[in-house]
Structure 1
Amino acid sequence: MNTAIGTKEAIKRWDGFADTYASHHTENGDIHKEVFLNSVLFELMGDVKGKRVLDAGCGEGYLSRLMAKQGATVTAVDFAPRMLEIAMERTPDQMDIDFRHGNLEHLDLFNDGLFDLAVSNMVLQDLANVESALKEIYRVLVPGGCFVMSILHPCFITPESGWEKNDSGDKLHWNVDQYFYEGAYEQKLGKMVLFHRTLTTYINTMIKSGFSLERIVEPTPSQEMLKKHPTFEEDFRCADFIVFKLRKAGVESQSSWFSPIVP
């Protein structure tokens, strides 16, 4: 763990890891996105046809392409130059996606109120300054615009977490430690830099940025996915991911939680 590491180091490592990362992605993303996240993201986003959508941290671009196929006008931004190159290589010329290089912490390349919808799929844990990123995404949304974001579940994926196993290698239970540490740590797989923060910090920062919170989903595998990938049965023991649906002020939502109180 190293609190001195910032987003600049994360960008450097993602740029170097981009080809390996992309090699594990099909048209539906990697296996975890296919099993856990895609159906939840599209459920929370709703009908994207005709909407101006920001793919905030697009990676190799699979989600941008899926949204474009459903009729969205997609602008995709990522902080790793090599990742953007791969995204553009994989995107057919006739698919009109505007790929941009940029860091979500500073979206100066976009005017205020430019997008109807923003989605960030497994990105915010890669940024040192999540408050700046949330404020920027809030700024570029239209009033009443929606933001859907998925991250590693901060309650269970911590700087010191993993399976406790017996001598035979059987998984006994999931260990969690260093939950209240907030800062950078190195992921064991791929030596990528992640930035851990508590669930409290995430939610309070969303509220501070102006968003109201409409829904939270902790995805589990569907029966259809379990038939295809039976080993994911173990994910009913512990949540790996959490997904939020947020709303920018401007349109009342009867189902919203933690909405700012207006005197």
Structure 2
Amino acid sequence: MTSRANETAITQWNTSTTREALETTAEDGDFAKRHLVNPTLLRLLGNVRGQRLLDAGCGNGYFSRILAGRGAQVVGVEPTDLMCSFAREREVELKQGITYVQADLTRLPDLGAPFDAVVCSMVLMAIPDWKPAMRACVETVRPGGLFVFALVHPAFEQLLSTWQEHSAYQVQRYLEEYEIVGPAASDFHRPLSAYLNELASLGCRLREVVEPGLDPAVAAAAHSATPAIDSYVHLPNFLFVSAEVPA
């Protein structure tokens, strides 16, 4: 069964999401997704043409659509009503062959044949009871396939707002686990070791860890609108992990 904490998180995301926000980010996400998240995920996944991929926690489905546009056979899983409905609407319009399934990642239904790769982008840190979700993702991957996930970097959470206030990054608690209340819903801080050790316990082999910085030219162009954006040049706000599932 889904934990009560996870049910609460899903409800938060479902009630805080607006149609306008989904429309605005429907093509390629927000600024950070366009310039940092998407390019890194696509590089880690490599050539996806003809591959069967799972977009775990797909939100409005924008990354599923990018993957399908590159020739992948995509299944997107999303627990919230509004985002899943929006993704399905776009599939009716675009007819890319994407299957969207509304489900909690901690208790996935039968999704058919194993996947060549699973991508879980900006999701695990938003799940209170996250370990069953990581396990479920890994269990859907074929032997030797890839599990790729992205997080807000546990060492540099709230980077932009902290930089705006202090012109530097400050952190007081790192080793503890705690809730970070956000404008839409909560994230949950855990040290990096929690994610990597869980990955190891599932038998996965680490292939690459990426901590990308923003291109200084992109930051310069965005500086007038977001003066603290240069923090993304100097410190990584996002963490990416690519792992091979055991054969």
Partner of 1:174: 169
From the superposition, tell whether residues 21 and 211 of structure 1 become closer, same or farther in structure 2 (CA, over 3 Å): farther
Matches of 1:204 and 1:114 in 2, distance apart? 24
The corresponding residue for 2:193 is: 200
CA shift, 1:228, in A, is 4.4
Deviation at 1:125, TM superposition (A): 0.8
Can you list the C-alpha shifts for 1:127-161, whole angstroms capped at 9, x where unaligned? 12222112111111000010111100011217xx8
Q: State whether residues 162 and 176 of structure 1, in contact with CA within 8 Å, keep that contact through their aligned partners in structure 2.
A: no
Indicate the SS of the match to 1:162. Answer: helix
Contact 1:7-1:126 at 8 Å conserved across structures: no
In the alignment, which residue of structure 2 is the partner of 1:185? 180
Kept after mapping to 2: 8 A contact 1:115/1:145: yes
Q: Is 2:243 the counterpart of 1:246?
A: yes
Question: Is the 1:150–1:244 Cα contact (8 Å) retained in structure 2?
Answer: yes
For 1:247, give the aligned amino acid: E
**Aligned position for 1:257:** none
Deviation at 1:36, TM superposition (A): 0.9
Give how far 1:5 is off.
Answer: 7.3
Query: Who is 1:253 aligned against?
Result: none
Distance 2:217 2:162 in 1: 26
Can you list the C-alpha shifts for 1:174-215, whole angstroms capped at 9, x where unaligned? 12122222143312x33x111211111111011112211110
Higher strand share: 1
Residue in 2 that maps onto 1:8: 7
Q: Which has the higher helix share?
A: 2
Match of 1:260 in 2: none
Pair 1:105 & 2:110 matched: no
SS at match of 1:59: coil
Residue 5 of structure 1 contacts residue 184 of structure 1 at CA under 8 Å; is this kept in 2? no
Runs (5+) with no aligned partner, structure 1: 166-170, 251-263
User: Quick one: which amino acid aligns to residue 173 of structure 2?
Assistant: Q
- What is the rounded CA distance, in whole Å, between the counterparts of 2:57 and 2:221 in structure 1? 28
Q: Which residue, 198, 209, 217 being the options, matches 2:210?
A: 217
SS at match of 2:163: strand
Across the two proteins, how many residue pairs are aligned to each other?
A: 238
The answer for unaligned runs of 5 or more in structure 2 is none
Identical-pair percentage: 29
Structure 1 runs, 4 residues or longer, greater than 6 Å off: none
Q: How do residues 66-81 of structure 1 correspond to structure 2 at under 5 angstroms?
A: 66-81=66-81
- For the 8 Å contact 1:217–1:244, the answer to whether it is kept is yes
2: CA distance, partners of 1:108 / 1:94: 23
TM-score relative to the length of structure 1:
0.83
Q: With structure 2 as the length reference, what TM-score do the two structures score?
A: 0.88
Q: Indicate yes or no: 2:47 matched with 1:52.
A: no
Deviation at 1:224, TM superposition (A): 5.5
